[in-house]
Structure 1
Amino acid sequence: MARCFCRWRAVLICVCTPCICLLLLFSYAVVLMVLTLNGIQVKSEVVNSESSVTDSPRFVAPGTFNNGIFSSQPKHFWDHRGHRALWNQLQLRADRHFNPILNLKKTTNQQNFNGLDGSFFENMTLFKTTSNFTKLPEQLQRFVSYMDRRDYPVLLQPGGECGAQAEGENERPLLLFAIKTTEGNFLNRQAIRQSWGREGWVRGQWGNGSGGGEAGGYVRRVFLLGKRDSGEPSAAFSLVLKMESDRYGDMLQWDFHDTFFNLTLKDVLFWRWFSASCGDTAFVFKGDDDVFVNTPKMVAYLLDQLREPQAHKATRDFMVGDVIVGAPPSRDDSSKYFIPENFYRGFYPRYAGGGGVVYSGLLARRLHRVSQRVHLYPIDDVFVGMCMIRLNALPVYHPAFLTFDFPDQEEQEPCSYHKILLVHKRSPDQIRRLWANMTLTRRECGHVPLRVEKKTSGTPSEDALLEIPAVQIPRLPL
């Protein structure tokens, strides 16, 4: 009897021990997965740009990127524990909706927001009952009421396939100027057409006599706008705008109200239009209609990017501008950038100021795809930064992008405008005068290199240069 008992005990031990180990291992895996879905950093998986994009279940700053930038970034740029913040909760539901682990039956290339309508309205109802929705600024109330909508009819579109272009183009366009404007800003548009925004072939201008000699590229132009608020008389403006569109063929207008918070719509709708109409365009400049651009230097700078080794791979994530780092939302209710805590909690991701930014056409198409998984945000350049984080990419800071104007008395220095790629806040008359002056001084100033950040003491690291715009957070650009 004792022998039989020992024999059965040995059998039970041999059989049960592996089962118990497997059960413990399974429990550990379940706990690890739950922790991962609730805050542990998950690196986003980026698929080839020509295929669908697979993203992480939550916006997570990857820390160190492979594009040469090493910078500090909050672990989560938005607070996933912000249960009372509407945008946070909407995005959390969106992430879970597109998470292939939580939704095994959903394909990874599902990218539209149609399946989120129910969760959007559910959260909206909860938001209006649990928080004081009526105390939000009127502009933000309107934004929230329509933030789930992205399908707006096109009222005007360019005559050419991809914006206004010169006749007889014999190579793919190098650069498309996509300029945010409004119906009433005709003088701004006209100044741009007559100066730095002229369509056609532009010869590059290299500093120190280096570069491609007579090399250049074709430039195209399109103006992005909505329509005037319904409370304002707009029939006359619409007629004049139609005549302007027929004359210049560079207007892209949608049927939504052109407000500050709706600038984000110009990004997502432009990306959709670009993806369908501008497949061969190498780069996009997106900026305001009150900036001045040094087009010859811009062309030279972009041609240099295409000459880099493995340029196609390098331009996949290419975005350059005046970068803002670690900015918190404005809680000043007198500011047009005011975002209350019950709408959004957390820091903003690294983003390039919307006054003027350049990115590759390849990245524009990738932004179009990934933006369909990100809820609209009322600050357009912040929204672009959110989409960039989702692509596991970061914008690159360049000191020749002056979205906050020249520092100190630098504008008075000789050849100052030949050293920059962009400067913000210039009137139409100033734009014309600057362009004429640059044309006259090109012989003596064309050799100057692009602006670099001035060193005060020691040699600052690249990180220090990237952090510089963060001190200008109160003056966030459009």
Structure 2
Amino acid sequence: SQTFWKKMHILGDLFLIAALYSMRSPKSDHFVTYRRFKDMDFTSISKTFWKLHEEALWNQLQLAIDRHLNPILNPQNAHRRFKSRAFYDSLLRLSFSQVTDLDPTRRKIEKLPQQMRDFVSHMKRRNYQVLIQSPNATCGAGAVNEKEPPLLLLAVKSTHLNFKNRQAIRQTWGRVGWVATHRMNGGQRQEVGGYIRRVFLIGKEYTRNSAWNVSELLQMEDQLYGDILQWDFDDTFFNLTLKDVLFWKWFTHQCGQTRFVFKGDDDVFVNTPNLINYLHDQLEKPHADRTMNEFMVGDVIAAAFPNRVHQSKYFVPDSFYEGLYPTYAGGGGVVYSGQLAKRLHKISGRVHLFPIDDVFVGMCMTRLNAHPTHHPGFLTFDFRGDEEKELCAYHTILLVHKRNPTQLIELWDELSKTRSQCLHVPLRMSNKKTSLLG
């Protein structure tokens, strides 16, 4: 009997590998890969991020989920795929218990750094109460009488005490309502625009200064601006992934026809007029209705290794995760379609939480057989050399990371003053092809 089931597990894993490496329709939410099964080199599996037979905790947890969804090992689950969110929630808990109830695994967890142990203690939980959500803004703050569906929702990850960051964004690149801009089309100046909405994604934060009730201040802020979305979870770096998962759920139920989402940090500068022009260009491309199903653009990172430096906030020990990271868009800001946001909500129920939010999004994208597009206009590591000093430097980008509130206001003012002089300056372009390894 044991020999039989051992063979069945091996057979099931081979089927899983075939499923992982078989090409699916872009509209499918099944197992995915970058090449067809018939051309596959099985020796390359160990080099990919989706390692199937490793001892690291996350890899074991994910393998347990995949085995439950394997139609050979568990044919009764095949017909239930994607029909019940409760089914996936229970599957996450079941797979977590199966792995962590083992004595070797418990000992492994005990040796993890404290921050990682805290993450593991609640990584199977995804349901958290909404503490603040403006009843007058179902999909973030925006215009009262929008005459067409919103073009873009700005979803900005923030924290309780970053009021100055939020206020600077509200006054500059994060303004809501109808935003008009101009672009050159065949030598002619053309006006385009779109309705913009805004929401700040915040967890729960605790302060030692009892003189400040940050929750009350946040409620007052939302009453004034209607753009705060807060959940009842501890707002730590490793919990940034929860903001993605909970945002996708909220977006799916609240944001209906919104065409695009910008998801980023509250310390980035965004050239909103350029972004509006860029998104209109995407919508005018042939077959845009199909490509929007998996559209994501940003600074794409491929075949990255996990950070093994203990002092880094990105540190992930090899006892927690083995293998390369998937291709992902990182660095503080990414843009994707509303259609993709809903698909990410759906598929995320089949992927265990990961403490690095950008990597987790990449894992979900890989499951969807969707690949982010690299754009050199996303400057996640700032300008090179003296480029920033050029008159029209900020007119050539979509985003630049690491700018404080004072810099946001100064840059936005400078952008306005030099707009006519820099009208014909194009966006940064690159012939670099993004690798899909990992």
**Counterpart AA for 1:62:** Y
CA distance in 1, matches of 2:210, 2:24: 47
CA distance in 2, matches of 1:433, 1:74: 49
What pairs with 1:202-241 in structure 2 (closer than 5 Å)? 202-206=179-183, 213-229=190-206, 233=210, 236-241=213-218
CA distance in 1, matches of 2:244, 2:188: 33
The residue number in structure 1 matching 2:3 is none
How far did 1:405 drift?
0.8
What pairs with 1:122-137 in structure 2 (closer than 5 Å)? 122-126=98-102, 131-137=107-113
The residue number in structure 1 matching 2:81 is 108
How far did 1:319 drift?
0.2
Any conservation in 1 of the 2:29–2:367 contact (CA below 8 Å)? Answer: no
Any conservation in 2 of the 1:86–1:127 contact (CA below 8 Å)? Answer: no
**Counterpart AA for 1:139:** Q
The residue number in structure 2 matching 1:37 is 15
Q: SS of 1:442's equivalent? A: coil
- CA gap of 1:37–1:75, structure 2 versus 1, over 3 A, is farther
The residue number in structure 2 matching 1:55 is 30
- CA gap of 1:199–1:39, structure 2 versus 1, over 3 A, is same
Q: Write the deviation string for residues 284-341 of structure 1: whole angstroms up to 9, x where unpaired.
A: 0000000000001100100111111121101111000001110011111111111111
Q: Write the deviation string for residues 341-391 of structure 1: whole angstroms up to 9, x where unpaired.
A: 111110000000040000000000000000010000000000000000000
CA distance in 2, matches of 1:254, 1:223: 11
Unpaired stretches in structure 1, ≥5 consecutive residues: 1-29, 65-71, 454-460, 471-478
CA distance in 2, matches of 1:302, 1:234: 45
- CA gap of 1:365–1:41, structure 2 versus 1, over 3 A, is closer
Q: SS of 2:317's equivalent? A: coil
RMSD over aligned Cα, in angstroms? 2.7
Q: Write the deviation string for residues 77-111 of structure 1: whole angstroms up to 9, x where unpaired.
A: 132121x2111011011111122333222222245
**Counterpart AA for 2:100:** M
The residue number in structure 2 matching 1:405 is 382
- 2:28 is the counterpart of 1:85: no
User: Could you tell me the percent identity over the aligned residues?
Assistant: 54
Q: SS of 1:224's equivalent? A: strand
Q: Write the deviation string for residues 242-293 of structure 1: whole angstroms up to 9, x where unpaired.
A: 0000000000000000000000000000000000000110000000000000
- 2:147 is the counterpart of 1:170: yes
Which of residues 409, 422, 429 is equivalent to 1:445?
422
Between 253-262 and 150-159, the greater mean CA deviation after superposition:
150-159
Any conservation in 1 of the 2:133–2:228 contact (CA below 8 Å)? Answer: yes
- 2:122 is the counterpart of 1:142: no
Structure (1 or 2) with the larger CA radius of gyration:
1
Q: SS of 1:430's equivalent? A: helix
How far did 1:207 drift?
5.3
Unpaired stretches in structure 2, ≥5 consecutive residues: 1-7, 37-43
- CA gap of 1:297–1:205, structure 2 versus 1, over 3 A, is farther
**Counterpart AA for 2:102:** L
Any conservation in 1 of the 2:92–2:350 contact (CA below 8 Å)? Answer: no
- 2:70 is the counterpart of 1:99: yes
What's the TM-score, normalizing by structure 1? 0.82
Q: SS of 1:296's equivalent? A: helix
How far did 1:185 drift?
0.2
How far did 1:447 drift?
1.8
- 2:309 is the counterpart of 1:332: yes
Q: Decide which structure has greater strand share.
A: 2
- 2:321 is the counterpart of 1:344: yes
- CA gap of 1:120–1:295, structure 2 versus 1, over 3 A, is same
CA distance in 2, matches of 1:342, 1:441: 52
Q: SS of 1:426's equivalent? A: coil
What pairs with 1:293-304 in structure 2 (closer than 5 Å)? 293-304=270-281
What pairs with 1:255-404 in structure 2 (closer than 5 Å)? 255-404=232-381
Any conservation in 2 of the 1:226–1:256 contact (CA below 8 Å)? Answer: yes
Any conservation in 2 of the 1:90–1:375 contact (CA below 8 Å)? Answer: yes
- CA gap of 1:178–1:296, structure 2 versus 1, over 3 A, is same
CA distance in 1, matches of 2:195, 2:250: 20
